[in-house]
Structure 1
Amino acid sequence: MKFEETGISNKEVEFSEAEHVLSEAGFVHAGQWDYERVTFDYKFDDLVNDDVYYLRLQAYAVKGDIPSPSCVIKFLDPILGKHYYPHGVEYSGEDFPKHIVEKSNKKLEQVTSLLK
């Protein structure tokens, strides 16, 4: 599921600021990067349905190389996916529970306000 018009898409920030803000909001960087792309994930454990979901923020370098603190990254649309063990995460063609979508929207509002 793609989240559009969140205020995050196309936002450009220094990598060090993004790393700090997203860590503060509970997102994990976990070494998911190369010199041009980076991913930050927020994990939702759905105790009602015993499922796991990930809210993912992806970005790419527009100036410099990741993980240089002064590198400038540009965010893509946030996406929500459901984890299927052992295959991985599916981002499209899923029916996401309303409470997970609402929590994702609140988390994205938090990130948007922290990145201002």
Structure 2
Amino acid sequence: MKITDTGIEDNLIDLKPLDHAMEKANFVRAGQWDYERVTYDYKIGSPEKNITYYIRVQGYAVEGDVDKGDAVIKLLTPLLGKHYYPTGIEYGEKEEFPPTTVERASTLLKNAKQNFEPFVKN
């Protein structure tokens, strides 16, 4: 599910302050990158058996190289996904999410945006 109206999509930001801001908001990049793309995830537990939710923020380099740490990243629309054990994460629009999870995701994304907003390139 796309989480719209966050103000995150289309922002341009240098990779290093973005990494710091997302880490401060508890989003994890870990090994989820290549030379042109980055992905930050936030794991949300669920009382449902074998279900976990993930907020995903993705971006791609418009200049520079992620591996070298000198990339300028353009952020995409955040996603909310549901992980089904053992098959994986589904981000489809047909997935249903508890309203409290959607609200929490929006709040967490607003917090992340506040962290990186001072570093956004105009």
Which category describes the TM-score, using the shorter chain as reference length?
over 0.9
1:81 is aligned to: 81
2:22 is aligned to: 22
2:6 is aligned to: 6
CA distance in 1, matches of 2:67, 2:40: 13
Secondary structure of 2:107's counterpart equals helix
Quick check: 1:103 aligned with 2:99?
A: no
1:115 is aligned to: 116
**Stretch of structure 1 that moved more, 105-114 or 64-73:** 64-73
Alignment RMSD (CA, Å):
1.0
2:72 is aligned to: 72
State the shift of 1:100 in Å: 0.5
Secondary structure of 1:86's counterpart equals coil
> AA paired with 1:38?
V
Q: Runs (4+) of structure 1 moved beyond 4 Å?
A: none
CA distance in 2, matches of 1:63, 1:104: 29
Quick check: 1:54 aligned with 2:33?
A: no
Contact 1:15 1:68 in 2 (8 A): no
> AA paired with 1:13?
I
TM-score, reference length from structure 2:
0.90
Deviations 1:95-116 (A, max 9, x none): 1001100100100110111111
Secondary structure of 1:115's counterpart equals helix
Q: Calculate percent identity across the aligned residue pairs.
A: 45
Q: Which runs of 5+ in 2 are unaligned?
A: 118-122
